[in-house]
Amino acid sequence: MSDVPERRGVSDVPERRGVGEARLPISVLLLLRDEVRDVEALLPTLSFAAEVVVVWDARGDRAALETAARMGARVFERAFDGFGPQRAFALAQCTQPWVLWLDADERLTPRSLPALARAAALPAERPGIVRVRRETTFLGRTIHWCGWRDEWLPRLFTRAGARFDDAPVHERIEVTGAVIHRAPGRIELVHESYRTIDDCVAKMVRYAHANAEKSWRAGRRAGLADVIVRPPLRFLRQFVLQLGFLDGAHGFVLCAFAAAQVFLKYAELWSRSRAGRGA
């Protein structure tokens, strides 16, 4: 049994503001912590959905929770114990046959809505997935290379048969027996995840720690060679083999941050491994 404190529904059945009567049979699944400005910008764009389910990390800025509730989302408060478990709890609160998984810093492009409506009209009795194309910006510029080119993600799926794994970071959705539907038109997301250098540093540290924890739980250990060799290999892979140099200075800085994140991950694993041996 989880030792996470009791989960509490904060706003279960609010009125959706500015929404017409015809809504798509979609639950938008969203996690929040401190993203007040993001949720203020995102929620008005989701008026097509029958509901928006928000799970707020109790470590965060309560203004984010209050803003989401005021703007018509169904809001729940839950202590954070990893992205996988947090999204699994959010999925359990969804009521619609289709679920659209978004992050607070992602936006659907306006031209995606007709394709989204046609996708939501597909039969939901049988488990299914519709892949969504995502572009990511880095310090204000869209990245086309660096391993970020042509990301097609399983972000729209049937609630039937769906579950999230329990990974602390880079969680995955699993839909048992799913049919991979060909999207009836292009559904696109723009991901504005790295807006400032401060954002990059904060996420680098957080993800490095979470990935080290994930690897440690999986029984992986690291030596000094991992700390020395893996970061430059990551840089070479993204900047050279995955053509990051074509993204110019932004590509160089992105790949340098990626290498630094790998360094922090393996430095933590190395430290834990030494401690485990009593070194």
Secondary element (H or E) of residue 101:
strand 98-101
- pLDDT for the residue 183: 72
- pLDDT for the residue 8: 52
CB-based contacts of 36, cutoff 8 Å, min separation 6: 61, 63, 64, 67
Alpha helices in 160-247 (DSSP H): 197-217, 224-236
CB-based contacts of 276, cutoff 8 Å, min separation 6: 221
- pLDDT for the residue 6: 42
What's the mean pLDDT when you consider all of the chain?
A: 91
Cα-based angle 279, 221, 252 (whole degrees, multiple of 5): 115
- pLDDT for the residue 1: 36
Cα(116)–Cα(28) distance, integer angstroms: 12
Question: Is the pLDDT reported for residue 13 higher than 60?
Answer: no
Domains of the chain listed by start with CATH number: 8-193 (3.90.550.10), 196-277 (no CATH)
Cα(199)–Cα(189) distance, integer angstroms: 20
278 residue type, one letter = G
Q: Give the pLDDT confidence of 156-166 residue by residue, as tens digits.
A: 999 999 999 99
CB-based contacts of 119, cutoff 8 Å, min separation 6: 98, 130, 156, 181, 183, 184, 187
- C-beta atoms surrounding 178 within 10 Å: 18
Q: What is the pTM of this model?
A: 0.87
**Helices then strands, each counted (H, E), the chain:** 7, 13
Q: Give the pLDDT confidence of 203-233 residue by residue, as tens digits.
A: 999 999 999 999 999 999 999 999 999 999 9
- pLDDT for the residue 5: 42
